Structure 1
């Protein structure tokens, strides 16, 4: 499961780093200058286990206005903002600017930590500061966020803060995995004996050890040598996780903050993209056409010019459309949030969402058709609408999904085909096709598959001599309907994750292994079968000899074949008797039970059980008191 990320925000010297150190036991200030000045200059990182057991990463950002642009490199990929306001000072200039940045980037959740409460003169003062904070947050993404009073020095309120962080994250959906791995680099360093390491928040897709990656915009190719998350080695990193990637084939000097590590073929750099834009009402200027700005997107900072579309200028507090042209190539994707700042004097202007990452050309600024297209793109393209709908719908047919998404049929079919083709939707009934077959969001399918594997792995640990769990029991445990379950079983079998034998389902990796003592019992029993191949020990005698678990393991492995509740043969003896019957009566003539008994040199009990089993398998068919071979195999 992906580790989610909390980011701090707030005015300088309001206690962000000290609070992080108290929460995690790790001080995020890693630079000597930071420790000497007691001021965060660059991004710091720590990790925390919340009361509900969830592990989260924490990005600590600078609060000083001189380092606001370093702050922007780390705040873009967070799932929750820990918004810090000191009780002795209250709301300050960078408090408001950081809040504006969180609002522009649409950070999905937040918790306010009212710090340094031990420095407040009295409870009445704290009430006034909290009221001012709530008024400041009104109308922003943090409107209504819980406020927790804490002291990092004394530890007061720390337990409550952890509980509040856990509760706020629990109500937030996890990032979708669209299978397009992308990690904006916010830190680069070298480790002796390992080479280049980059860190960042994995925004989409997953990375595995051994994966080939591309570093954009320069297009450098490398390979994932190792992964770490929460300072633990991992074989695979999930979307949303703070991730350190050890790269082979890449020199440290070739990588810098702002570049993007991604899977080859999914992304390409651009120097022009279309975007929706909101200008802060606090902005000191209107945004005019051809204004030079600083663009912040992912962990990248680059100089750009804006083409204002449809109007002469965008006034403070108003929204509009932009074509943004960058001085250097950048990597963006539709739906990314970005931010624009004025270079001089420094000021956060506003930001918005990328609606088209690779426009075909420079558009005419006042074209009605272009403006209409922007409006449609801002609402989401059919593939994204379909994928979002699928995440909530679970396992449904492609046609049902299109209807649930309220998409026109032709657009929906094209989007469905695209998502299935690129693997964002799992098609569980390929024989029926994407429209009639069951489909499921890839992230949900992987979660269901992982749940299946966990259930069966625990079962195998408890019952190592069983081939697997009863088919219906697994269905019940997974909570699936019959068609859904059958489709899932077929898909898992096709992926070689699951094997079904005699109504038992088990992991393909599971192997039945006897202990030396058990193997000795098995050998003794099988010798009895070898001594009397056509009249061997019965089911009860077998169970008495080796126990039910070992007997079931032998039938599960196919060494023994039970042809009735009482009669069981070694599989090789059964096959030999079947071949004798085929040789004798394979020309289509009929034969009686007595004839079969005599030919096999066995007793009536064994002959009756064997022939009735052949009837059930449709290898023989009854014709009065005789039988005829129909389909010997």
Structure 2
């Protein structure tokens, strides 16, 4: 059953059939960011052929997850990503739907991570328990979160199943030292194994308590931060035969409807003036989803 089929009336009235908060993943390459998102959402976000071949995330990926809480169980045992409680088997209540933005961890792909971070309301900084703290991209991504003013952060100590208890505690202490004096200094540190789904309920509880749902002002002029675009025209198509393009991103204020006239900035470069000129066009269709 898809989470859209489980949405209560109050949620649909407030947010429609879409997530209400964007949470990014950050951290060093191969520390388990994409595996963690798959555990939470069931979606493997590194679907591009080059990503599958190289085993790393190159493009920013998206996936949505619904969080549920069982009123019959103590926290964090009552939290799950399914309508039925994993602890007692009874029906759980939806808390909210979250959109995850999976950012690349490789140093040469830092620009993609930064463009993804511009859309997020909070972040999970994933740190592997079986490697020294901090790794290069761990430092860079935390600095990026600092620069962007992201203060709602959950620290995820992943791969604890690969180390001894003593080594996990040493790694935990190193994480505490690493984030001292940063936006993540007071962030919860949740030890998990994304691969075996260990302690995922505690992670969901930490996300629910640490990352609040932002207020979106639908009365303001609409702003969409574009993260990716697609050319749907056939190669060599004449101007009169062009269908337009597809853009994807996140609306931070206002609303769109089919037929609205929009301005895309910075647009295209003017070779004569050396400046960019905005593109003015009309919305032909709208959709939501990862």
How does the TM-score come out when normalised to structure 2? Answer: 0.74
Please give the per-residue CA displacement for 1:272-292, whole angstroms capped at 9, x wherever unaligned: xxxxxxxxxxxxxxxxxxxxx
The separation in 2 between residues aligned to 1:192 and 1:164, in whole angstroms, is 44
Counterpart in the other structure of 1:93: 136
Q: 1:179 aligns with which of 213, 220, 233?
A: 220
Counterpart in the other structure of 1:197: 246
Counterpart in the other structure of 2:161: 118
Deviation at 1:60, TM superposition (A): 0.5
Deviation at 1:119, TM superposition (A): 1.0
The separation in 2 between residues aligned to 1:118 and 1:191, in whole angstroms, is 45
1:580-619 map, 5 Å: none
| Larger RCO (CA under 8 A, 6+ residues apart) | 2
Please give the per-residue CA displacement for 1:507-537, whole angstroms capped at 9, x wherever unaligned: xxxxxxxxxxxxxxxxxxxxxxxxxxxxxxx
Q: 2:200 aligns with which of 145, 154, 158?
A: 158
Deviation at 1:11, TM superposition (A): 0.7
1:429-578 map, 5 Å: none
Query: Does the 8 A contact of 1:17 with 1:60 survive in 2?
Result: yes
Query: Does the 8 A contact of 2:226 with 2:248 survive in 1?
Result: yes
Aligned: 1:6 with 2:23: yes
Counterpart in the other structure of 1:629: none
Aligned: 1:40 with 2:89: no
Q: 1:192 to 1:152 in 2, by over 3 A?
A: farther
The separation in 1 between residues aligned to 2:191 and 2:64, in whole angstroms, is 21
Deviation at 1:73, TM superposition (A): 1.0
**Stretches of structure 2 lacking an aligned partner (at least 5 in a row):** 1-13, 69-93, 235-242, 267-276
Please give the per-residue CA displacement for 1:462-503, whole angstroms capped at 9, x wherever unaligned: xxxxxxxxxxxxxxxxxxxxxxxxxxxxxxxxxxxxxxxxxx
What secondary structure is seen at the aligned counterpart in 2 of 1:215? strand
Aligned: 1:210 with 2:259: yes
The separation in 1 between residues aligned to 2:286 and 2:95, in whole angstroms, is 22
Greater radius of gyration (CA): 1
Query: Does the 8 A contact of 2:21 with 2:214 survive in 1?
Result: no
Aligned: 1:62 with 2:79: no
What secondary structure is seen at the aligned counterpart in 2 of 1:208? coil
Query: Does the 8 A contact of 1:50 with 1:163 survive in 2?
Result: no
Counterpart in the other structure of 2:95: 53
What secondary structure is seen at the aligned counterpart in 2 of 1:203? strand
What secondary structure is seen at the aligned counterpart in 2 of 1:197? strand
Query: Does the 8 A contact of 2:216 with 2:254 survive in 1?
Result: no
Please give the per-residue CA displacement for 1:273-320, whole angstroms capped at 9, x wherever unaligned: xxxxxxxxxxxxxxxxxxxxxxxxxxxxxxxxxxxxxxxxxxxxxxxx
Query: Does the 8 A contact of 1:134 with 1:144 survive in 2?
Result: no
From the two aligned structures, give the one with the greater helix fraction: 1
Counterpart in the other structure of 2:48: 31
Please give the per-residue CA displacement for 1:37-84, whole angstroms capped at 9, x wherever unaligned: 111112111111122431111110111111111111111121111110
Aligned: 1:223 with 2:282: yes
**Stretches of structure 1 lacking an aligned partner (at least 5 in a row):** 232-633
The separation in 1 between residues aligned to 2:286 and 2:210, in whole angstroms, is 28
- How many residues get paired? 229
Please give the per-residue CA displacement for 1:309-348, whole angstroms capped at 9, x wherever unaligned: xxxxxxxxxxxxxxxxxxxxxxxxxxxxxxxxxxxxxxxx
Query: Does the 8 A contact of 2:27 with 2:105 survive in 1?
Result: yes
Counterpart in the other structure of 2:179: 137
Q: 1:176 to 1:135 in 2, by over 3 A?
A: farther
Q: CA RMSD in A?
A: 2.0
Please give the per-residue CA displacement for 1:117-139, whole angstroms capped at 9, x wherever unaligned: 1111x112111111111221122
Deviation at 1:215, TM superposition (A): 1.3
What secondary structure is seen at the aligned counterpart in 1 of 2:221? coil
What secondary structure is seen at the aligned counterpart in 2 of 1:227? coil
Please give the per-residue CA displacement for 1:71-122, whole angstroms capped at 9, x wherever unaligned: 11111121111110001013211111110110111113011111111111x1
The separation in 2 between residues aligned to 1:220 and 1:63, in whole angstroms, is 32
Deviation at 1:190, TM superposition (A): 4.3
The separation in 1 between residues aligned to 2:116 and 2:36, in whole angstroms, is 18
What secondary structure is seen at the aligned counterpart in 1 of 2:211? helix
Query: Does the 8 A contact of 2:27 with 2:33 survive in 1?
Result: yes
